[in-house]
């Protein structure tokens, strides 16, 4: 009589489930970087935990179904578990995962993960000797979070959509190694991306009030004055 394959036995499947969950939980718990309480993004914090919960429930449902019904869909409970495990839980995890990916793609850490192209720019942000516009805004927390995204995304939902489209192109070029060094903007930096934060601020009006209409119309680019003393970045290749 041939020996049974221990991999296919019920105790083995239960051990695999236990080992899988015990290995997955600490990894997911460390997925979010340590941060001060007021710096925690609630979408990221709770979304990552909800996603981990859904994944664990999905694994448990599938393994329970295999253990209980041995792959046979007999009766309403079996069909219900099949629908939940194969349909609802994957859909929920995909939706939560998409939200988290979009949320985390706005982080500075995400931008600098493309080391070959963006690492020097991220280093410039944090360089205390740098006087670039990026470093001044980042180090003084003029923008509290997601500084790359906030400065390079136009106002409103269409600005977000355009940024995501451009990001997909950038990711494609990075992983296919079709990018060019040094990295350059596709278009001149628009005044509106500065004005969405600075326009009509008291300090800004004192310094720009006499010619603000020219700035609003785009006739006078912000960079025509600011790029001399404070270039966008001070990056050397």
CA distance 191 to 216: 7
CA distance 194 to 59: 47
Phi-psi region of 113 (alpha: psi -120 to 50; beta: other; left: phi over 0): alpha
- Distances, alpha carbon 148 to alpha carbons 8, 59, 109, 134, in Å: 50, 37, 10, 8
Closest C-alpha among 173, 162, 74, 163 to residue 117: 173
- The pLDDT score that the predictor gives to residue 162 is 87
- The pLDDT score that the predictor gives to residue 154 is 85
**pLDDT tens digits, 133-174:** 999 999 999 988 889 999 998 877 788 888 888 888 998 999
What confidence tier does 85 reach under pLDDT thresholds 50, 70, 90? confident
Q: Is residue 90 pLDDT above 70, yes or no?
A: yes
- The pLDDT score that the predictor gives to residue 45 is 78
Domain boundaries, the chain: 6-104, 108-229
Neighbours of 216 (CB within 10 A): 14
CA distance 60 to 66: 10
CA distance 58 to 45: 20
More confident: 137 or 227: 137
Query: Which of 2-6, 23-27, 95-99, 136-140 has the lowest average pLDDT?
Result: 2-6
- The pLDDT score that the predictor gives to residue 191 is 92
Query: Which of 1-15, 102-116, 140-154, 205-219 has the lowest average pLDDT?
Result: 1-15
By percentage, how much of the chain surpasses pLDDT 90?
A: 24
Q: Tell me if the pTM is above 0.75.
A: no
Angle at 137 between CA 161 and CA 212, to 5 degrees: 75
Q: Are 132 and 234 in contact (CB under 8 A)?
A: yes
Q: Is residue 7 pLDDT above 50, yes or no?
A: no
């Amino acid at each position: 009589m041939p020996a049974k394959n221990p991999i296919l036995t019920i105790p083995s499947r239960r051990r695999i489930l236990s080992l899988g969950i015990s290995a997955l939980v600490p990894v997911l718990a460390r997925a979010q970087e340590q941060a001060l309480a007021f710096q925690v993004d609630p979408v990221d914090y709770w979304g990552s935990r909800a996603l981990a919960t859904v994944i664990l429930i999905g694994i448990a449902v599938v393994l329970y179904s295999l253990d209980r019904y041995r792959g046979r869909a007999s009766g309403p409970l079996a069909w219900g578990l099949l629908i939940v495990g194969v349909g609802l839980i994957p859909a929920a995890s995909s939706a939560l995962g998409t939200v988290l990916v979009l949320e985390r793609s706005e982080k500075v850490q995400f931008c600098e993960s493309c080391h070959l192209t963006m690492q020097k720019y991220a280093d410039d942000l944090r360089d205390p000797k740098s006087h670039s516009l990026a470093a001044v805004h980042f180090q003084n927390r003029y923008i509290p979070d997601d500084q790359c995204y906030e400065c390079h995304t136009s106002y409103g939902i269409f600005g977000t959509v355009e940024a995501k489209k451009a990001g997909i192109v950038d990711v494609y070029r990075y992983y296919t190694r079709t990018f060019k060094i040094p990295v350059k903007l596709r278009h001149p930096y628009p005044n509106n991306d500065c004005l969405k934060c600075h326009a009509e601020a008291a300090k800004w009006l004192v310094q720009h009030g006499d010619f603000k209409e020219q700035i609003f119309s785009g006739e006078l680019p912000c960079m025509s004055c600011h790029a001399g003393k404070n270039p966008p970045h001070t990056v050397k290749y």
